Amino acid sequence: MSNLFKPFKYKGLELKNRVVMPPMCQYSVHLKDGIPTDWHFVHYTSRAIGGTGLIIIEMTNVEDRGRISDYCLGIWSDEHIPAFKRIIDECHKYGAKVAIQIAHAGRKAEDAPIPVSSSPNAFNEKSKTPHELTTLEVKEMVEKFKNGVERAVLAGVDTIELHGAHGYLIHQFASAYTNQRTDEYGQDKFLFGKEVIKAAKSVMPADMPLIMRISALEYVDGGYGLDYSVEMAKAFRDAGVDIFHISSGGEGPIGSGGRPGSHPGYQVKLAEQIKKEVEIPVIAVGKLDDANLAESVLGNQEADLIAVGRGMLSNPYWANEASILLDGKPLTPKPYERAY
């Protein structure tokens, strides 16, 4: 059996293979109420039918002003739970496990009348200047993350992913580029993230692992590098993170920190270093659509799980085709067997 299709187990999470569908915003909540629609139901269920081991539902926000756009998902009310449960229950029928990425866009909330952030600095010249959260408001935000995680658990998720990457709110607090506060959340830039992690763990089953997505590099002028993200990952690991999902960038305009890669596997070295330094499992992501490349990343022990984004957008049955290529075995359900 190939490495990509070996089972993965960590705490209470058992995956039939190591193929991950990463969170990718669909901007398809046309009623603007944050509730998943039939589009989301078909979108995620089809990837489960296609053989994906872990499906991470797109960025789902803990308050209405925390959405990138008004067409994004939310989980700020109990009214959101049934639609998520419907998706999760159906994906489970095909052997996939499901996570929800719990998040807040912070200053990158494009449709919020007044976005919020760690400090009152706009994302770019076209963005609104955010309100700097007071110390009390930060603590209230931690509670909103906790409530969002609790609702996701009630919806039946197998694991949770916190979004601490791509310049969204947790990342905004963790970075010196976006956090110029003087209170406790400025003195310890990881404090907000650590408090969110601990709050999430307090409402998750004891054997449910917590995933966190982080940006291992910033590309802005004066942005942090890998040494800083290793320090950050260790702090978040000690607060309760079990698995890291390693991405990069998203915090601001591209500057002296370099440019994101355009070649296959351009972020793998970042995942490998975090895995080595922090000593917990990692998900690699970033142009890993080639099954042989994904297989080599696992074979070289550079990561533990492989997230396939654009490849899975274009092909819901990516995992099935990769299994045929690597192992000669289709993964699709019985009604499709005659195709192979």
**Closest among 255, 315, 252, 302 to 276, alpha carbons compared:** 302
Residue 297 binned pLDDT confidence (cut-offs 50, 70, 90): very high
Check residue 255 and give its pLDDT: 84
SS3 content of the chain, % helix, strand, coil (to 5): 40, 15, 45
Half-sphere exposure of 271 (CA within 13 A, CB side): 28
Tens-place pLDDT, residues 116-154: 999 999 999 999 999 999 999 999 999 999 999 999 999
**Closest among 213, 199, 223 to 146, alpha carbons compared:** 199
Tens-place pLDDT, residues 69-116: 999 999 999 999 999 999 999 999 999 999 999 999 999 999 999 999
pLDDT value at 328 more than 90? yes
Is the CB of residue 23 less than 8 Å from the CB of residue 56? yes
**Closest among 120, 141, 148, 139 to 60, alpha carbons compared:** 148
In whole angstroms, what is the distance from residue 63 CA to residue 134 CA?
17
Tens-place pLDDT, residues 152-166: 999 999 999 999 999
Check residue 337 and give its pLDDT: 86
Q: Taking the model in full, what pTM does it have?
A: 0.97
**Closest among 42, 41, 39, 48 to 21, alpha carbons compared:** 48
Q: How far is CA 86 from CA 31, 64, 82, 83, 147, in A?
A: 18, 22, 6, 5, 20
Check residue 50 and give its pLDDT: 97
Span 243-256, average pLDDT: 92
**Closest among 137, 145, 136 to 170, alpha carbons compared:** 145
pLDDT value at 272 more than 80? yes
